[in-house]
Structure 1
């Protein structure tokens, strides 16, 4: 549960969000009405508007909940090297692929990635990951590249129905990055890595 949020408020928001997502699985985002959402959730319009501005804010809420769950799982990792974090990233989103696929079908998957990108700097400040140093944001561009790159790899494998286990995918990615950087360091950067 989100820190500081009343349990009744959270339950009410989750009811609305679940109803909306059920509708989103069957109908287009544009077709779904507030009345349909409140009817399925069995809440009043006042309750709906007390918690959400519009349908997009429901997706932001659902995305934020997932992202917070992901960040929590990262903090719980025993081995916090890049290989294990990437494996967790791929396995986490694979567990939630139905959410990702619905967003993709609705052409709204960019919303999830934007929310992840927006929340990353705050997570980095409190993270115990070794590459999330308190260095004045000097690595923020690399972090953003990693988030976007890992997301693209995940969705590529999801779209192509590649059955690569998340741990093997992580190992393969790191091996390819290392090989490429070692082979091309002189040509790309004018120095050995």
Structure 2
């Protein structure tokens, strides 16, 4: 797994959970199995996470940080550049995306997708950090349906794309998406 996590204990826990997910159903994986695989104690696990769901939620935040870093690294300023960066990011994490899909865990991303993307926009400077929260909420309310339809469509296209063989390149996907949402 190619996730940037500076805390080695958290990284071991995350990697252990995903190693187990390759062979076991998520519902059959217990905290005990995770800590056995990670060769850690129970207290160590609970010092870092509240539950195995918390591990997945934390991983989602790490993924979105990586997505933000991809946007910054690519100097993506346009919609096309951001969408290309988005598919480059997922191409780099395709095995993880497929595993989350197979394990029926995509809802950890789906349920929070607008908020996660909003946080990415803040981190990349596409939304000014100085905007007051009330103003940001007012803007969100004004555009929430448009925002939800676009993000929902891009997310569904991401899942379809991840299952294709061969997959289209990030540039091809960006062109397809941009042609649709223009």
Is this a same-fold pair by TM over 0.5?
yes
1:31 equivalent in structure 2: 28
After alignment, is 151-160 or 58-67 more displaced? 151-160
Q: 1:155 to 1:50 in 2, by over 3 A?
A: same
Q: Quote how far apart the aligned CAs of 1:81 are.
A: 0.6
After alignment, is 22-31 or 134-143 more displaced? 134-143
1:177 maps onto 2:181 in alignment: yes
Unaligned runs of 5+ in 2: none
Unaligned runs of 5+ in 1: 179-193
CA deviation profile, 1:58-99 (whole Å, cap 9, x unmatched): 111111111111012212332411111111111211221111
Structure with higher RCO (Cα < 8 A, 6+ apart) = 2
Q: Determine the C-alpha separation between the residues in 1 that align with 2:59 and 2:79.
A: 26
The TM-score normalised by the length of structure 1 is 0.77
* Match for residue 18 of structure 1 among 15, 19, 25: 15
1:64 equivalent in structure 2: 61
1:128 equivalent in structure 2: 125
The CA RMSD over aligned residues, in Å, is: 2.3
The TM-score normalised by the length of structure 2 is 0.81
CA deviation profile, 1:101-134 (whole Å, cap 9, x unmatched): 11111111111233433223333345433xx476
Q: 1:116 to 1:41 in 2, by over 3 A?
A: same
1:150 equivalent in structure 2: 154
2:115 equivalent in structure 1: 118
Larger radius of gyration: 1
1:109 equivalent in structure 2: 106
